[in-house]
Structure 1
Amino acid sequence: MSTSAPLPSAVSGPETGPETGSASADPGRLSAKAILGYGAGDFANNLAFATAGAFLLIYYTDVAGISAAAAGTLLLVVRIFDAFADIFAGRVVDRTYSKRLGKFRPFLLFGSVPLLGLSVATFAVPQIGHTGMLVYAYLTYAALGLAYSLVNIPYGSLAGAMTQVPSERAKLASARSVGGSIVSAGLGILIAPRLVPGADLQTVFTVATLCFMVVGTACYLFTFFTCRERVKREVTHVSMRQSFTTLKGNRPLLMLCVSSVLFITGGLSLSTLQLYYVRDVLHALNLFPVLSTIQLIATFVLAPAIPFLVRRFGKRTAYMGGSVVMALGGLIVALSPAGVVVLPFTGLVLGMLGFLLVNMLVWALEADTVEYGEWRTGVRTEGITYALFSFTRKTGQAIGGAVGAYALALGGYAAGAAQQTEAALWGIRIGTGIVPAVCALAAALIMLAYPLTDVRHAEIVAEIAARRRQGDDQGDGAGQPTAPAPADGASPGAN
């Protein structure tokens, strides 16, 4: 199938444009099996990542017996470490290449079992005194983060190597969001209702993580066998200098990173305290599985709509719209009276919908910045580009998770108590509502100036392909782009 099938013209939206052909020999449409396989990879990722994000704080405070303040510091420190682990993983990926297996797929094959095994260990803190438990928690969670980086960075980079067609990338972004959302919904439906005072929570988490290890390994293998790297690259082993040259002056990537730090900070504060909000503020733990079910349904509704939204409005506009929806939900959550459950629950749903929409779009935006870096330098560096983006998201996760934990500590949250003080309830409200609202609005404002519209991206991809054809026609052997890279600071935003 042709790789240059046009999208609707500019009357359909300010950021739409033609789906320009890839620089590869066969960059066309993706098969349903490849899209499903890519989604399975994020399903597996989230068996470790989403489980830790949703339940690790409550596990530390209510099961292991670590104080909320100490747990908050732990989350902050280890997630900052995770962010730097992403940069390390990005360099490992850029330097790695296998003619038989490809650049990214070997990490899925060999990293899955260690990652999921460390998830089991993280939720198995031994009772060896407060200091001993903290040391164990730091070591296992840090090891889990490093293992996750060495799997997730190549997994995320794989999307940019599978296709350069914008709507196909949107499908991959939707597929990974579906995979992750199925896990999140499953956790909310199957695990969250069991987290009641007095239950044997250690057994719950041990059995769950062991099952996740088996299922997750099978999903990673499915991704490995169904996804292929089809976008041509001129440089297979990227040097340190080449990696960081592509980042220098990549204004779209840097702006996307800053916006994502803010957005993820708000989103992680929300997700970290969401269970506390439903259980302790609304006194309606039975609603948490309902919220998870709504999330799952919303994911399956939004996922097929993402390519249409991209064509109609452009990724940037849809991203800003999702941020505004999340901010509105946060304000409703913070200010609604607990006695009228339907209103704050509606706020939680809106916050979740905005978060879902942005998370489905952001991966396609990140993949576009790879072409921007290649356009400037002639070198594709998916690994370090994705790593920097993931670094900023991990930073946001660290800050957001810590903010949620500190909100509990400052409010005086009492682990296991049937009734929390008014101060503790307001701490939960601030972390679940005010922080997400402020962060989401700030993220949207930054994207107002985002320069890499869909029209401009299509032009850049076409120019890369033209350079490569020119190089091949001149018989230079390497096929390197012959046009000079734009000067640092050159803006790609003009349409």
Structure 2
Amino acid sequence: MSATIAAPATTARKLGAAQFLGYAAGDAANNLAFSMTSFFLLIYYTDVVGISAAAAGTLFLVIRIWDGFADVFAGRVVDRTMTRWGKFRPFFIFAGPPVLLLSVATFTVPGLFDSHGASLVAAYVTYGLLGLAYSLVNIPYGSLAAAMTQRPDERAKLASFRMIGTAVTTIMLAFVVSPQIQQYRGDPDGFQRSLLITTAVFAVIGVALYLFLFSTARESVQRDVAQVSARQSFGTLRGNKPLIMLCLASLAFLTAMFSLQTVQVYYARDVLGDAKLLTALTVLSVGAIFVVAPLMPRIVRAIGKKRAFLSFGAVGLLAGVGISVSPPGTPWVSMTFFGIMGVATAGINTLMWALEADTVEYGEWRTGVRTEGITYALFSFTRKLGQAVGGAVAAFAIALGGYVGGSATQSQGALDAIRYASGFIPVVFIAIGILIFFRYPLTERTFATMVAETQARRLAAAARPEP
């Protein structure tokens, strides 16, 4: 592999529409696997495979923690890589298709094994392999934004387009999969056949989206060290206080978000009485991205990333309480609060990506080495922990409430547990995230100073005569 380093002159070049659309396409492809498992894997395990909610909760906890360590491994692979196509782009070609094929396998567990014990083992194996493959494509994808531009406004736009890609895919999943849940309720074999066809079609679409990302992405930010050693990688993490605080706050917020996502389908089907309402809940909650994302650059310019992050967290507290106390007989009340929660999660998630890219600059400012891979890997590690804890807490909550997989009716205790896992549990973790983020130190002024000092240091080094 050649150690080609981008020229410094390209760092000021503005990104074009193709780069923004390609970046959105990349996250759309990622979410054909990621959101599919986040929203529908628990109900697939409980109602099709026959795994108990408690066993599925343990599986989520184990596999998603494994995924977090897979992210760290992928971060080191990325930091060591440099090719004629760049540091990140090759992974979209070589790791993207395996992710999509493993997503098909993850939703084909009963077709592989008949006994419940063997099916549980198959679930661990297929979901674990999916997590490893996903790390090898998602870490390069997330790291790419910091290498495409150093302009804060364009990083905010990239984060916004990323969230739009997520929203389009998530809403599409709701429209496609929710009717299948209602249609095949009580018919696990029919639901299995339908999911096999659905995930296979998604695999074809996803490959096309990864190819579009590969063809439009450009890595233009100068790096002084092309292939980073393990010592350099982990050295940039030590003392990176903004990254550590961002990771801790994100862990709390994402635990809240994934708790809600995990049981949202149960909320629609069992609490509100109609699985088709999942489509409406998803459109309201995820569709908020289309309102929030375009406004994010203006919001950041007006009040800064930190204040915006805390403000959206406060909105999430209100929404979580509303979701849990809404009367089941009036679905429009629940839908209103799901929409408000969508505003909160859209804002927080969009800001997370821009904040993570800023911590890369902080690490380079301190050490002189850019390590997008390991920095994003640590951030992604905490996201996976949030997914693990949120999914497990939600699964354990409905198990404690007495949820019975495959049953046409559920006890009042199970229904209450679903409501609490949808609202009150997220409220607790959002409050924790707000408390942590109050002490986040990296402001817009600090960021501008760091970038200027790093550039000045680079120019001074270039001006010194070679020995």
The TM-score, its normalising length taken from structure 1, stands at 0.90
The residue that corresponds to 2:36 in the other structure is: 51
Alignment of 1:218-367 (within 5 A): 218-295=208-285, 297-367=287-357
Unaligned runs of 5+ in 2: 1-5
Alignment of 1:163-178 (within 5 A): 163-178=149-164
Q: Using the alignment, how far apart are the partners of 2:387 and 2:288 within structure 1? A: 23
Structure 1 stretch displaced more, 243-252 or 303-312 = 303-312
8 Å CA contact 1:186, 1:292 repeated in 2:
no
- How much has 1:418 moved relative to structure 2? 2.5
The residue that corresponds to 1:31 in the other structure is: 16
| Cα offsets for 1:412-466 (capped at 9, x unmatched) | 1012222211110111112111111111121122111100011111110111000
8 Å CA contact 1:160, 1:367 repeated in 2:
yes
Q: Using the alignment, how far apart are the partners of 1:476 and 1:91 within structure 2? A: 31
The residue that corresponds to 1:198 in the other structure is: 186
Q: Using the alignment, how far apart are the partners of 2:286 and 2:253 within structure 1? A: 21
- How much has 1:262 moved relative to structure 2? 0.4
| Cα offsets for 1:132-182 (capped at 9, x unmatched) | 001110000000000000000000000000001001000100111110111
The residue that corresponds to 1:153 in the other structure is: 139
8 Å CA contact 1:181, 1:295 repeated in 2:
no
| Cα offsets for 1:49-83 (capped at 9, x unmatched) | 00011100000000111111111111110000000
- Matched AA of 2:340: L
- CA RMSD of superposed structures (Å): 1.4
Q: Using the alignment, how far apart are the partners of 1:255 and 1:154 within structure 2? A: 22
Structure 1 stretch displaced more, 298-307 or 63-72 = 298-307
Q: Using the alignment, how far apart are the partners of 1:184 and 1:66 within structure 2? A: 25
Structure 1 stretch displaced more, 462-471 or 291-300 = 291-300
Which among 92, 98, 105 is matched to residue 114 of structure 1? 98
Q: Using the alignment, how far apart are the partners of 2:327 and 2:285 within structure 1? A: 23
Which among 164, 168, 171 is matched to residue 182 of structure 1? 168
Alignment of 1:65-84 (within 5 A): 65-84=50-69
- How much has 1:23 moved relative to structure 2? 9.3
8 Å CA contact 1:23, 1:464 repeated in 2:
no
Q: Using the alignment, how far apart are the partners of 1:420 and 1:241 within structure 2? A: 54
The residue that corresponds to 1:490 in the other structure is: none
The residue that corresponds to 1:87 in the other structure is: 72
**Alignment of 1:382 onto 2:368:** no
Structure 1 stretch displaced more, 196-205 or 264-273 = 196-205
The residue that corresponds to 2:3 in the other structure is: none
Structure 1 stretch displaced more, 70-79 or 344-353 = 344-353
- How much has 1:188 moved relative to structure 2? 1.0
8 Å CA contact 1:44, 1:219 repeated in 2:
yes
- Matched AA of 1:133: S
**Alignment of 1:64 onto 2:49:** yes
- How much has 1:476 moved relative to structure 2? 4.3
| Cα offsets for 1:331-365 (capped at 9, x unmatched) | 01112222232222222221222111111110000
- How much has 1:295 moved relative to structure 2? 4.1
Q: Using the alignment, how far apart are the partners of 1:436 and 1:24 within structure 2? A: 44
Q: Using the alignment, how far apart are the partners of 2:315 and 2:8 within structure 1? A: 38
Q: SS of the residue aligned with 2:9?
A: coil
- How much has 1:286 moved relative to structure 2? 3.2
Structure 1 stretch displaced more, 468-477 or 150-159 = 468-477
Which among 123, 126, 142 is matched to residue 140 of structure 1? 126
8 Å CA contact 1:23, 1:468 repeated in 2:
no
- Matched AA of 2:58: T
Q: SS of the residue aligned with 2:120?
A: helix
Structure 1 stretch displaced more, 137-146 or 444-453 = 444-453
- Matched AA of 2:97: V
The residue that corresponds to 1:370 in the other structure is: 360
The residue that corresponds to 1:444 in the other structure is: 434
- Matched AA of 1:96: T
Q: Using the alignment, how far apart are the partners of 1:198 and 1:424 within structure 2? A: 18
Q: Using the alignment, how far apart are the partners of 2:286 and 2:349 within structure 1? A: 14
Q: Using the alignment, how far apart are the partners of 1:211 and 1:285 within structure 2? A: 22
Q: Using the alignment, how far apart are the partners of 1:79 and 1:145 within structure 2? A: 7
The residue that corresponds to 1:412 in the other structure is: 402
**Greater share of residues in helix:** 2
Q: SS of the residue aligned with 2:144?
A: helix
8 Å CA contact 2:284, 2:335 repeated in 1:
no
Which among 36, 40, 45 is matched to residue 25 of structure 2? 40
The residue that corresponds to 1:469 in the other structure is: 459
Q: Using the alignment, how far apart are the partners of 1:151 and 1:286 within structure 2? A: 32
Q: Using the alignment, how far apart are the partners of 1:476 and 1:304 within structure 2? A: 47
Structure 1 stretch displaced more, 371-380 or 118-127 = 118-127
Q: SS of the residue aligned with 1:314?
A: helix
Which among 370, 385, 393 is matched to residue 403 of structure 1? 393
8 Å CA contact 1:189, 1:293 repeated in 2:
no
- How much has 1:284 moved relative to structure 2? 3.5
The residue that corresponds to 1:15 in the other structure is: none
8 Å CA contact 1:185, 1:295 repeated in 2:
no
Q: Using the alignment, how far apart are the partners of 2:311 and 2:259 within structure 1? A: 20
- Matched AA of 1:429: R
8 Å CA contact 1:72, 1:406 repeated in 2:
yes
Q: Using the alignment, how far apart are the partners of 2:350 and 2:283 within structure 1? A: 18
Q: SS of the residue aligned with 1:201?
A: helix
- How much has 1:24 moved relative to structure 2? 2.9
